[in-house]
Amino acid sequence: MNDSTNGISILGSTGSIGISTLDVVERHPQRFRVVALSAHRNVERMAEQCRRFSPAYAVMVDAAAADALRQALADMPRPPEVLSGPEALETVASLPEVDYVMAAIVGAAGMMSSLAAARAGKRLLLANKEALVVAGAILMRAAADNGATLLPIDSEHNAIFQCLPATYAQGLAASGVERILLTASGGPFRDAAPESLAAVTPEQACAHPNWSMGRKISVDSATMMNKGLELIEACWLFNTAPERIQVVVHRQSVIHSMVQYNDGSVLAQLGNPDMRTPIAHALGWPERISSGVEQLDLFRVAQLDFEPPAPERFPCLRLAYRAAADGGTAPVVLNAANEVAVAAFLDRRIGFTDIARVVERTMDRLPPEAVDLSGLGHVLEVDGRARAVAEQSVADGVC
Last residue of a domain, one of 152, 179, 204: 152
Angle at 131 (CA atoms; ends 213, 361), nearest 5 degrees: 80
Binding positions: 14-17, 41-42, 128-130, 154-156, 185, 208, 214, 221, 226-227, 230
Is 79 strand, coil or helix?
coil
Mean pLDDT, range 14-37, rounded to an integer: 97
pLDDT tens column, 362-389 = 999 999 999 999 889 999 999 999 999 9
Are 176 and 165 contacting, i.e. CB atoms less than 8 angstroms apart? yes
Distance CA 353, CA 56 (A): 47
Task: Decide if 61 is inside a domain.
Answer: yes
Binding positions for Mn(2+): 154, 156, 230
Q: Could you tell me if 255 and 318 lie in one domain?
A: yes
Q: Could you tell me if 117 and 206 lie in one domain?
A: no
Task: Decide if 287 is inside a domain.
Answer: no
Mean pLDDT, range 133-138, rounded to an integer: 94
Q: Could you tell me if 240 and 385 lie in one domain?
A: yes
Mean pLDDT, range 158-177, rounded to an integer: 92
Task: Decide if 99 is inside a domain.
Answer: yes
Binding positions for 1-deoxy-D-xylulose 5-phosphate: 129, 155-156, 185, 208, 221, 226-227, 230
Q: Could you tell me if 233 and 344 lie in one domain?
A: yes
pLDDT reading at 171 higher than 80: yes
Cα dihedral 334→336→341→346 (10° resolution): 130
Residue 138: C-alpha distances to residues 135, 378, 379 (Å)? 5, 11, 10
Residue 57: C-alpha distances to residues 37, 69, 124, 192, 294 (Å)? 7, 12, 18, 48, 32
Task: Decide if 184 is inside a domain.
Answer: yes
Q: Could you tell me if 142 and 220 lie in one domain?
A: no
Mean pLDDT, range 110-130, rounded to an integer: 94
* CATH value at residue 340: 1.10.1740.10
Q: Could you tell me if 357 and 390 lie in one domain?
A: yes
Domain count, the chain: 2
Give the pLDDT score at 128. Answer: 87
Give the pLDDT score at 1. Answer: 43
Percent of the chain topping pLDDT 90: 87
Are 336 and 387 contacting, i.e. CB atoms less than 8 angstroms apart? yes
* CATH value at residue 22: 3.40.50.720
Q: Could you tell me if 63 and 175 lie in one domain?
A: no
pLDDT reading at 2 higher than 60: no
Q: Could you tell me if 111 and 188 lie in one domain?
A: no
* Contacts of 230 by beta carbon, 8 Å cutoff, 6+ apart: 129, 154, 156, 157, 182
Q: Could you tell me if 103 and 175 lie in one domain?
A: no
Q: Could you tell me if 231 and 316 lie in one domain?
A: yes
Last residue of a domain, one of 152, 177, 210: 152
Task: Decide if 369 is inside a domain.
Answer: yes
Q: Could you tell me if 147 and 178 lie in one domain?
A: no
pLDDT tens column, 283-329 = 999 999 999 999 999 999 999 999 999 999 999 999 999 999 999 99
pLDDT tens column, 81-119 = 999 999 999 999 999 999 999 999 987 788 999 999 999
Give the pLDDT score at 398. Answer: 65
Amino acid at 150: L
- Return the H-helix or E-strand segment holding 152: strand 149-152
Binding positions for NADPH: 14-17, 41-42, 128, 130, 214
Last residue of a domain, one of 119, 152, 185: 152
Distance CA 104, CA 101 (A): 9
- Give just the sign of the alpha carbon dihedral 263, 241, 110, 365: negative
pLDDT tens column, 253-287 = 899 999 999 999 999 999 999 999 999 999 999 99
Range of the structural domain that residue 20 is part of: 6-152
Q: Could you tell me if 167 and 143 lie in one domain?
A: no
Task: Decide if 281 is inside a domain.
Answer: no
Task: Decide if 265 is inside a domain.
Answer: yes
Task: Decide if 298 is inside a domain.
Answer: no
Average pLDDT taken over every residue of the chain: 94
